[in-house]
Structure 1
Amino acid sequence: MSDDSGNYDAGISEEEPQPEKEVVEVILDKRERGLGFNIRGGVDNRYLPDDPGIFVTTIKPDGAAARDGRLQRGDQILEINGENVQRVKHFEAVQLFHKSKEQITLLIKKGVAPNPPEEVQDYKVSAPVQGMYRKHFVLGGLVLVAVALVFWRYTRH
């Protein structure tokens, strides 16, 4: 197109600034069935290449997050119980989730990662690290039983 001055306008405009993402406070009760969502991210384990933040990657249908309805996949967690988690290691964010007893207060920036990658292995906030400890406990128990059986067999003779 050309305007009255004869200049050609290709219809390409400068990039429009993106509107600020909504920031909301979400208070969840983790006593009944856990928080019910998974996270990924941190300065040591980035979820998005250009952002070291902590992100929600999955919402479990039976957890507190699903019942509340405000937390969504792709939301960025800015604070956990008032502690800024925008530039922390993944483990530090996980520890903040575990420190809270009954309720947890999250400051969330909505829709930061609208199309997050699918192939992630998330930290399950709904099932604290107990599953990891249980696996090690069972393995240790099996080793202990094996050692006891060997000891018992050789002391019988």
Structure 2
Amino acid sequence: IMKVLASEDSNTLVSEVMTKNPQVVTPDVPLCKVTRLMVTHGFRRLPVVKDGFLLGIITATDIMKYLGGGRVFADMEQGKADEILMIPVREIMTAADIKTVTSSTSVADAAKLMLEYGVGVFPVLDGDELSGIVTEFDLVKALAE
């Protein structure tokens, strides 16, 4: 489906299909709160923002890698679960080389970039500030409409 979208000659812009003003977290929020927020609302990823600026993104995969890590697993066995879950999200978020698009990016170009980079979400930046997020689902939904 993404390959079809990427080959479309569409005038639809990311701004028309993105989630505006998405739920975000700050870098100091503890993992337990982020996890609760993700589970409660069905999010698989959340932008990490400070003062309107994107610092990174926390994903379900980031959380699973952290929890499945040898040191963390050993700490859990020693009864340190509370410490593990209180770690600030900045410690485990993806921060390096976050791929983004702008609100004026076409849906077709966003689909091409998702395929190229192997990602399922783009934070949408206007200037340096986060204005939304666009996911594979948003793009597929746009194709269906």
Q: Under a length normalisation based on structure 2, what TM-score does the superposition of the two structures give?
A: 0.26
Higher RCO (Cα < 8 Å, 6 or more apart): 2
Larger radius of gyration: 1
Higher helix share: 2
